[in-house]
Amino acid sequence: MFSKNLSTSKILRSPKSILLIVLILVFLTEFLVMVVLPIILPSPVSKLGEAIIDAVLLTAVIAPVLWWLIHAAKRAEDDRLMVAREAEALRGQQMATLAQLATGVAHEIRNPLTSVKMLVQVHLGALGEQGLPTEDMQIVEQEIRRMERSVNSLLEYARPEASEFKQFSIHELLHRLLKLIEGRCESQRVTIDVDYSTSDLIVEGDAMQIQQVILNLCINAIDAMPNGGQLKIRVESTKPQTIGHDAENSKTESSKTRIVSISVHDSGSGISESAKEQIFQPFFTTKPNGIGLGLGICQRIAKAHGGNIVVENNPEGGATFTLNLSSQHSA
């Protein structure tokens, strides 16, 4: 029964299938009228009478079928939406359970991990004072720090910090950000090209969280260029799109409020179509040592600020991640 309903839904979602059904019914009705009409009406009938009878029979056959098609298509769409809502609700429950589990596991790991790191650092200092080799202990310390980053990412995703919304300057934020990535870009032979191309913009939000988002996008872009390349950061400001009556109502407001887009371009190999569809999903990653939570956290922060992050491949190669936020011109 379920497979039958599923196949019917698929047919009713296709405009070509619906058109084919209607055409077949029209053809069969016309054919039957041409064949049966002379039999049931042996006496001569005028052309007008034939046309009226033809129209009545055609309407009598087609109208119920069209009514059924319309309601069946509506039922199919309702079923599709219900399945989508159920799948989303199930995914929400799974993510809530996973977040709860991850929080507990992360706390249980982080405490002993901190103790181990402190012991390693103590022995590392002692070995250095004695002039003994410390390479192995340094590797251990590096791996512990890597585990700490993974644990902290799990905790941050499971229990995000509360946002502190204040007005801040996008240009000042980017100025601080560039200082954080200059060293890594230089060591990896990545040149930085920044284009503000607009007057300073004031954004209402949590400056540290927005900086975290842009920093994460920049680090991902640098990682996508292991052999060097060019990192481009663009800031653009556009008016929000409004139509008709909404445009009249929001004329005064839209003169101040704008959409600021911060784009991070890289000259790497780009992102596959399959990866683009999953790139913001938790635990999806294309990095060998990644855990797949960074972009998910970034997208959540963007949406908490009334914005979003979109990704696309560049025609000349590489990828572009764009953070869109609402802003106001500084006075």
Which domains, from first to last, does the chain contain?
A: 1-159 (no CATH), 166-329 (3.30.565.10)
Give residue-wise pLDDT tens across range 66-125.
787 777 777 878 888 888 888 878 777 766 676 677 667 776 777 777 778 778 878 777
More confident residue, 259 or 148: 259
Give residue-wise pLDDT tens across range 168-216.
999 999 998 998 888 889 889 999 999 876 777 888 899 989 998 999 8
pLDDT at 116: 80
Q: Which two tokens stand for residue 79?
A: 């079923």
137 in Cβ contact with 162 (< 8 Å): no
More confident residue, 140 or 248: 140
The set of residues, in sequence order, having a beta carbon less than 8 Å from that of 189 and lying 6+ positions away, is 227, 228, 229
pLDDT at 9: 54
User: Does 251 score more than 60 pLDDT?
Assistant: no
The whole-angstrom separation of Cα 155 and Cα 108 is 11
301 in Cβ contact with 210 (< 8 Å): yes
More confident residue, 154 or 264: 264
* CA atoms within 13 Å, Cβ hemisphere of 155: 15
pLDDT at 191: 93
pLDDT at 243: 40
pLDDT at 250: 46
The set of residues, in sequence order, having a beta carbon less than 8 Å from that of 119 and lying 6+ positions away, is none
Give residue-wise pLDDT tens across range 136-147.
777 887 788 777
Res. 13 pLDDT band, cuts 50 70 90 = low
Give residue-wise pLDDT tens across range 159-175.
666 778 889 999 999 99
Give residue-wise pLDDT tens across range 18-65.
777 777 877 777 777 777 766 666 566 677 776 777 777 777 777 787
Q: Is the pTM of this model over 0.85?
A: no
The whole-angstrom separation of Cα 93 and Cα 88 is 9
pLDDT at 253: 47
pLDDT at 322: 94
pLDDT at 247: 45
The set of residues, in sequence order, having a beta carbon less than 8 Å from that of 272 and lying 6+ positions away, is none
pLDDT at 214: 93
pLDDT at 308: 92
User: Does 3 score more than 60 pLDDT?
Assistant: no
User: Does 11 score more than 60 pLDDT?
Assistant: no
pLDDT at 1: 45
Give residue-wise pLDDT tens across range 284-321.
777 776 777 788 888 888 998 889 999 999 888 899 99
The whole-angstrom separation of Cα 21 and Cα 309 is 43
pLDDT average, residue stretch 149-164:
71
**Torsional sign, CA 217, 221, 223, 228:** negative
The set of residues, in sequence order, having a beta carbon less than 8 Å from that of 80 and lying 6+ positions away, is 9, 13
